[in-house]
Amino acid sequence: MALNNTYDARLVQQETAVGAGVQILLLALIGTAIGMGPAGWATGLAFAIATWAVLSRALHRAGSRTFGPANRVTLGRATLVGGVTALVADSFQDSPPVSLFVGLTAVALILDGVDGKVARRTGTSTALGARFDMEVDAFLILVLSVYVSTAMGPWVLLIGAMRYAFVAAARVWPWLTAPLPPSTARKTVAALQGMLLLVAASAYLPHVVNVGVVALALGLLVWSFGRDVLWLFRAHRATRAVPVTVERRARRELVAS
């Protein structure tokens, strides 16, 4: 049994290593096609190494014996996001081809709706897979907001930074980590962020229209986060109020007796 567990663990680690190798291959193809500079190469390689290291550690801690088909799709998306990240880093020296940038980003966004369906149909949904999917989504939004901010100003960075600010705030107020009820609106707003940022990043529309598109994305995100934070706060306050009510009732019964 121990040998089987070791063998399974090695297979899982091999899949993450293959993912890193594919990421480097994609960077090589992009570099050959557009003559990517040092900044793009360094950022892309750093992304590949960081993804491999963090994912390998998470799989080891979770004791995963198989990588799973849904995680393979998410890893494929992460590879595309690594390519987009390299292009954004390289854009500070030279503008990347719009068609390549839009193509990689669009495929990554489309695949966002695939891994969840694969997980449900194959019965391989896991907390780690959901977290992996969420982190890839969040990082892509951050990268897109960085790219768009170069043309529209630093206010766009609020879109990419909001999720990470929420995570940081949860370190101070742990009640923010409580589970939220399912919400179609939340999922819709999250999906729209990448689409709207990609529309603005493509620069196919007039600048003033793109500003409106990004402002809409930011407004929807503020509304979604604000609604969730308010729900969590009310739930936290209600939870704290219950023990106080029970204690007061117990005291009254004690006095009455």
> Which ranges in the chain belong to alpha helices (H)?
2-34, 38-62, 69-90, 98-122, 127-152, 157-172, 184-202, 207-256
Structure tokens at 224: 């979604």
Instruction: Give 164-220 pLDDT, tens digit per residue.
Output: 999 999 999 999 999 999 899 999 999 999 999 999 999 899 999 999 999 999 999
Higher pLDDT, 3 or 240: 240
Q: Is the pLDDT reported for residue 246 higher than 80?
A: no
Average pLDDT over residues 63-84: 88
Cβ neighbour number for residue 118 with a 10 Å cutoff: 19
Instruction: Give 13-23 pLDDT, tens digit per residue.
Output: 788 888 889 99
Residues 176-180: contacts with CB under 8 Å, at least 24 apart: 176/229, 176/232, 178/232, 178/235, 178/236, 180/228, 180/231, 180/232
Q: What percent of the chain has pLDDT over 70?
A: 90
The predicted pLDDT at position 251 comes to: 57
Write the single-letter amino acid at 79.
Answer: T
Provide CB contacts within 8 A for 48, sequence distance 6+: 20, 23, 24, 27, 82
Instruction: Give 97-121 pLDDT, tens digit per residue.
Output: 999 999 999 999 999 888 888 888 8
Please give the radius of gyration of the chain, using alpha carbons only, rounded to the nearest integer: 22
Average pLDDT over residues 78-96: 93
Alpha-carbon torsion (187, 192, 195, 200), positive or negative: negative
Q: How far apart are CA 184 and CA 224, in angstroms?
A: 11
Q: Is the pLDDT reported for residue 243 higher than 60?
A: no
Q: What percent of the chain has pLDDT over 90?
A: 62
Write the single-letter amino acid at 131.
Answer: R
15-19, 104-108, 143-147, 241-245: least confidently modelled range: 241-245
